[in-house]
Amino acid sequence: MSKLDICKVSLGINSYKIFIGKDIHRSITNYISNYKTYSSTIVISDKNIYEKNSLLFKKYLKKEIEFELIILPQGEKIKSFKYLEFIIEKILKLEIDRDTLLICIGGGVLGDLVGLASSLVLRGLDFIQIPSTLLAQVDSSVGGKTGINSKYGKNLVGSFKQPKSVIISTDILKTLKKRDIKSGYAEILKYSFINDKKFFNWLVSNGKKVISLNTESCIYAIKKSCTIKSKIVSKDEKEKGMRELLNFGHTFGHVIESVTGYKDKIKHGEAIFIGMYLAIKFSILLKICKKDVLEKYSCHLKNLKINHKLSSYNIKISPERFLQHMKFDKKVKNSKIKLILIKDIGVPVRLFVEDEKLLSNFLKNELK
């Protein structure tokens, strides 16, 4: 068996482990506790993952478990009421019972949908996450947020439903495009900024290796990211306080995604790179952060050939529209926008924007 790293999400009876290794998706029952007690197993994936990982579906899984397979189309469109109904009906048709296990093999979009379905079917089935993108491995597969989009916005319908375990293989990332790997790297960089300066310094020296999927560096970065997220989620599962820190760069970033319609024009991580850049710059404007933090951030991304300016993506958003969208964010309270800002690398701060004019002028300057 290849080397195995483990981190734990501590949530009382809902605690679970995240297993990280090079190719551990080839022997998943080692990482599902009491697998034999489940009455049946349903594996859910999407067309793209299924086609790109035929060995996994046709050899490794078959060798180990008996399962029914549900394949969904790829893309954000499946995070909808239509596909939630579709997947639930498909599951129910398989004559399941409360001891049926769902295994989700896919990226964040699929994980969010399957997680939500697993919390609803028969009032809750156990589920396992096998994330297939770097973004899902370091973020969405961990922490139990599930959801679909509504016409009123992204992720507005969902639940907290923790998986029974998360099985992360770095080999599964090999079929990804470089652009998607870089997009996942945004969340890794985020963890360093909100929690760990030493980790940032490590990324400065090793970021290129992570992006080129060097196994050892990748496993280190994934484990570090999952450990930071697990610590935060263990203290604040339902996002009543410190879990908000995980949204560093996201309040600005979500505006960009929302305006562009969550299309391929900009990936989630790319929007977060821009969002973190704006959050650092705004922190400097508020005089809570030193200028060299921005220099370090920009220099690191330049080294990795990652753009962090909106203009590089050919996207134009008026400052008025940008601010308007920021006001739709879930963290707005009493019509005040709450931002996750930064005092220094590793030292985040949650702040309500008291002077909206200041933010509006900042956006005018940044978006011209």
Closer residue to ligand GLY, CB minimum distance, 48 or 146: 146
Question: For residues 309 and 15, what is the distance between their CA atoms, to the nearest angstrom?
Answer: 39
In angstroms, what is the minimal distance from the CB of 99 to ligand GLY? 28
When the beta carbons of 135 and 293 are compared against ligand GLY, the nearer one is 135
Interaction mask 313-342, ligand GLY, x per CB under 6 A: ------------------------------
What would the x/- binding string for ligand GLY be over residues 143 to 172, using CB under 6 A?
x-x---------------------------
Closest contact distance (angstroms) between CB of 243 and ligand GLY is 5
The nearer residue to ligand GLY, 139 or 329, going by C-beta atoms, is 139
Q: 230 to 269, contacts with ligand GLY by CB under 6 A?
A: 243, 246
CB of 368 to ligand GLY, least distance (A): 31
Q: Report the residue number, 53 or 192, with the smaller CB distance to ligand GLY.
A: 192
**What is the number of other CB atoms lying within 10 angstroms of the CB of residue 55?**
11
Alpha helices (H) along the chain: 47-52, 54-55, 61-64, 81-93, 108-120, 134-135, 178-195, 197-211, 215-235, 250-260, 268-285, 291-303, 319-326, 356-366
Tokens of 265: 């024009």
By beta-carbon proximity to ligand GLY, the closer residue of 254 and 308 is 254
Residues numbered 39-58 forming contacts with ligand GLY, rule: CB under 6 A: none
Least CB distance to ligand GLY at residue 281 (A): 22
Q: How far is CA 294 from CA 203, 282, 325, 327, in A?
A: 15, 10, 25, 25
Q: What is residue 16's three-state secondary structure?
A: strand
Compare residues 96 and 168 and give the one whose CB is closer to ligand GLY: 168
Shortest spacing between CB 14 and ligand GLY, in angstroms: 15
Task: Give the binding-site size for ligand GLY (rule: CB under 6 A).
Answer: 5
What's the Rg (C-alpha) of the chain? 20
CB of 351 to ligand GLY, least distance (A): 18
Backbone angles phi, psi at 179, to 5 degrees: -60, -35
- The number of angstroms, rounded, from the C-alpha of 12 to the middle of its chain's C-alpha atoms is 23
- Residue 21 or 111: which CB sits closer to ligand GLY? 111
Instruction: Using the minimum distance from each CB to ligand GLY, give the nearer residue, 70 or 138.
Output: 138
Sketch the per residue contact string, 101 through 140, with ligand GLY: x for CB under 6 A, - otherwise. Answer: --------------------------------------x-
Q: Which amino acid would we find at residue 164? A: K
Here the tokens at position 79 are: 């995070």
Please state the closest distance from residue 362 (CB atom) to ligand GLY, in A. 24
| Smallest distance from ligand GLY to CB 35, Å | 27
Nearest to 338 by CA among 299, 282, 287, 289: 282
Residue 107, CA atoms < 13 Å, CB-side half-sphere: 23
Residues 186-225 that bind ligand GLY (CB under 6 A): none
CB of 333: closest distance to ligand GLY in angstroms? Answer: 17
Q: Are the CB atoms for 44 and 102 separated by under 8 Å?
A: yes
We find the least distance from the C-beta atom of residue 337 to ligand GLY, in angstroms, to be 18
Q: Which residues, listed in sequence order, are joined to residue 68 by a DSSP beta bridge?
A: 42
Pick between residue 53 and residue 162 the one whose CB is nearest to ligand GLY. 162
Read off the tokens for 169. 């293989």
Helix, strand, coil fractions of the chain, as percent rounded to 5: 55, 20, 25
CA nearest 23: which of 47, 48, 59? 59
Residue placing its CB nearer to ligand GLY in the complex, 143 or 184: 143
Binding site for ligand GLY (CB under 6 A): 139, 143, 145, 243, 246
